[in-house]
Amino acid sequence: MEHTAELHHDDGSAVKEIWKVTGILSLLTIVELVLGFYMMGVENPGGRLAIKGTIVILMIAKAFYIVGYFMHLKHELKNLIMTIVVPLALFIWFITAFLYEGNSYKNLRNRYDPYKKAQTEIKVHKTEEVKEIKTTVE
């Protein structure tokens, strides 16, 4: 009995928290979309990279709110939080190493395989592309 009484006492604030987090997630998504639309007009590579970085930070913030509040991890015991979060820290190495590797592979190939580099620089005309689609569909 005591247990249910405690739950009912907590009821209003828990529901309020759910709606608050819903608002935050929607807001973050809208900001991401606004940045996505804004990026379409940005040509400067540095500017594009900065916007992409901001979008990734917003993505991590969304992940934090989903895991922390919707999946309730923030309200669990610290031991449990640590057994979940600490292994996931491997992703820091995982992402850094592999993206660095991909970029390095691109640079090395462009440097030592000029034929391949020239092949990837040939522009295809738009009209040709349309014809190509039609033939593959038919």
Partner 1 sequence: MSTLTATAAPTKLWGGGKSPFNVEYGKLMMWYFLMSDAFTFGAFLISYGTIRFSSNGWPNPNEVFKSFPFAPEGVHAPLVFVSIMTFILIISSVTMVLAVHAGKNMDKSGVVKNLILTIIGGIAFLSCQAWEWNHLHSEGAWWGANPFLNADGTQSSTNFTNYFFTITGFHGFHVFSGVCINIVMLIMTLLDKFEKRGHYLMIEKAGLYWHFVDLVWVFVFTCFYLI
Q: For binding to partner 1 (CB under 8 A), which residues are involved?
A: 4, 7-8, 11, 14-15, 18, 22, 25-26, 29, 32-33, 35-37, 40, 52, 55-56, 59, 62-63, 66-67, 70-71, 76-77, 79-80, 83-84, 87-88, 91, 94-95, 98-99, 101-103, 105-106, 109-110, 117, 120-124, 126, 129, 132-133, 136-137
For residue 81, the number of C-alpha atoms closer than 13 Å in the C-beta half-sphere is 11
Q: How far is the CB of 46 from partner 1 (least distance, A)?
A: 15
Tokens of 9: 């006492």
- Using the 8-state DSSP alphabet, how is residue 1 labeled? -
Q: How far is the CB of 103 from partner 1 (least distance, A)?
A: 5
Q: How far is the CB of 82 from partner 1 (least distance, A)?
A: 10
Spell out the residues 6+ positions from residue 21 whose beta carbon is closer than 8 angstroms to its own.
Answer: 65, 69, 70
Q: What are phi and psi of 8, to 5 degrees?
A: -65, -30
Q: Considering the complex, state which of residue 47 and residue 109 has its C-beta at the smaller distance from partner 1.
A: 109
Spell out the residues 6+ positions from residue 123 whose beta carbon is closer than 8 angstroms to its own.
Answer: none
